[in-house]
Structure 1
């Protein structure tokens, strides 16, 4: 993903955040609109505190909504601020129900504040908390209405309670749904960011594995050629010059392959790797026997098995005391198999090293596997298997 795309996604998330926030905040204005006119028929000693409580409830809703949107994914539990806000709304609501001839109007206040407080709870509690707030508001409305006016008939308290329940449930559940959508968008955005980080990490591992294969193999070959050149100086200067020329060419090849890895263009030829292995092992005094038909290995697996031959050759040169080595290519059936064995098992390293681990990861991506273990009678084998493309015979 390019930087421009990332910036675009960031702007979209920011716009959606503002939309969610302003949608929830705007609800406060619409909720307060029917409440404030309802105070017009009240006496001044009652009007002032009730109006102040309504305004405070609206301001606190804005604060709590902003807090819920800001802390999405990391909500806290009830706080002192939440408790005080709910208490103020309940007091104003109770007074309104007892004194106002239109008591249902005051159900907007606990709905307003209750919805904002519910948003600051963990998501798994929000719906249940919203329903609980709605039921409590309805029950108190039902209980308070007969105390205020018994002339409304037997069904009047039920009507007030039902309206209060509907108003509170609607407002709080709309708030919960709005924030749920925002939470879902945030989770998707976080998952996208995590996938981007994972892709970067995988690419770094791939690059590190390729670099390990190249540098380890070439440096081992350069060291071997350097030692041979050093031994031949003064005894066979012509051969020493030839090895020095090969040494220079190996260094150039290492540099070229490293640049290709950096650019992502490097490919491995199984034929080239086997030729290099025979030459390097022969120069180290290790006899190598190759069995099987190279051309039978499917082209998509050439790079994979080439990496195995290169890693195995490097490990033999670096760690074993081998005198003989066998490379077997088996392409019969739906599975291709390459086995590299040597008789220097006593000095072989732990097969769980980074090179073998990298091979296992590469083979696993194609449904294959790599094993590295003693095979008996002082031999050690590195074996890789992979299913042929299409699963058919070669």
Structure 2
């Protein structure tokens, strides 16, 4: 039985040396990646607050007032810190009303000390509204959007449009663009946050469902154990008490009671062993569909092929353990986007094969899980092999001879 070749072992030793100088990057889950993407998307207000002034500064031919610009940049730095705290609170589902009020005060101060293009310093107003929308309800968001738009237009309205715009048409386009940005960006942020909350709720629901399944299984096992041995243990206790009372007066009957106790104990032990054997038996078809659902929930397209007539119970249980370990390895040790699981029966042998892409690294991750599978299948004459398939793929293959072919 082979799990790693000599070349793979050498590569594994080399890879173990790498973390000392270059730590591996932890693979993030789909939900973690979506959370990071959502955080960046919600930061569009910060982007607007900075890109307007810096873009105007890069293209302006007028002299820049050093004092007002220095104050404005300091205000933008404080505004950015407060907005980041608002975004973090929104993603965590907490409140940040003080940060919203403080960032609003900073934005107002920046508007008061600056003059110029609406699409320069004036963009800090819709930037503030986009952050406030994350922690306010719909009515308050609408009010904040209208107030921010009005404040930006009033405070940044130029005394003479010709000082900043080449013609009236350009001036009108700037006003239209400013109003459009002010009224749409906050609601775009609310939609993005709503989408994240839906995903988070779905993930929490899956975790709660898994925990509930574990709890139900424990309760079922407790009920089965009580039903199996509860009566036998009660009878054993009662007969033992009778035998203890009769041991001095009627030893023959006491011995008979103890024989009955021994018989009850053996029967209870037999029932427990039968129950445990039943719990160890795994439904391969149900297990394969469960593993497929887990992989697809992780964003991995999964194709399943199973024999129409199924696999005998003993061999099916062994292959189910292989499917569990293989699924765990795909989720933990790869960045797979697709996985194929096939179970076939031919020549008196049941074969399970899992192939996935997204292999991270050149070596084979043959840890204690694969070693344990090899040891589990060995008594039944089974084998487990794991290693690279086609370029960029990893293949796990398990074979178990059927009982009649051994």
**Separation (CA, whole Å) in 1 of partners of 2:132 and 2:111:** 16
Asked if structure 1 preserves the Cα contact closer than 8 Å seen for 2:130 and 2:187, the reply is yes
Q: Which structure 2 segments of 5+ residues have no match?
A: 1-25, 281-406
1:339 corresponding residue in structure 2: none
Count of equivalent residues: 248
Does the 8 Å contact 2:45/2:131 carry over to 1? no
Partner of 2:351: none
Q: Determine if the alignment matches structure 1 residue 76 to structure 2 residue 107.
A: no
Name 1:14's counterpart in structure 2.
32
TM-score, reference length from structure 2: 0.52
Q: Is the 8 A contact 1:107 1:168 kept in 2?
A: no
Scaled by the length of structure 1, what TM-score is found? Answer: 0.53
Indicate yes or no: 2:101 matched with 1:118.
no
Q: Is the 8 A contact 2:107 2:125 kept in 1?
A: yes
Shift of 1:52: 2.5
The alpha-carbon distance between structure 1 residues 68 and 155, as it changes in their structure 2 partners (threshold 3 A), is same
Structure ranking higher on relative contact order (CA contacts 8 Å, 6+ apart): 2
Could you say which residue in structure 2 is the equivalent of 1:134?
145
In structure 2, the residue matched to 1:61 is 83
Cα displacement (A) at 1:159: 6.5
Which is helix-richer, 1 or 2? 1
Offset at residue 231 of structure 1 (A): 6.2
Contact 1:28 1:58 in 2 (8 A): yes
Paired residue for 1:213, among 206, 218, 227?
Answer: 227
SS of 2:97 mapped into structure 1: coil
Structure 1 contact 53–88 (Cα < 8 Å) conserved: yes
**Residues 131 and 76 (structure 1), Cα distance of their counterparts in 2 relative to 1, 3 Å cut:** same
1:222 corresponds in structure 2 to 236
Distance 1:187 1:10, change over 3 A: farther
Contact 2:118 2:175 in 1 (8 A): no
Residue aligned with 1:148, SS: coil
Q: 1:88-139, CA deviations, whole angstroms, 9 ceiling, x for partnerless residues?
A: 112213444xx21x22433321222332233234xxx1x4333322211232
Deviation at 1:188, TM superposition (A): 0.9
In 1, are the aligned partners of 2:129 and 2:148 still within 8 Å (CA)?
Answer: no
Unaligned runs of 5+ in 1: 1-7, 267-394
Deviations 1:11-40 (A, max 9, x none): 222222222223334663355222223245
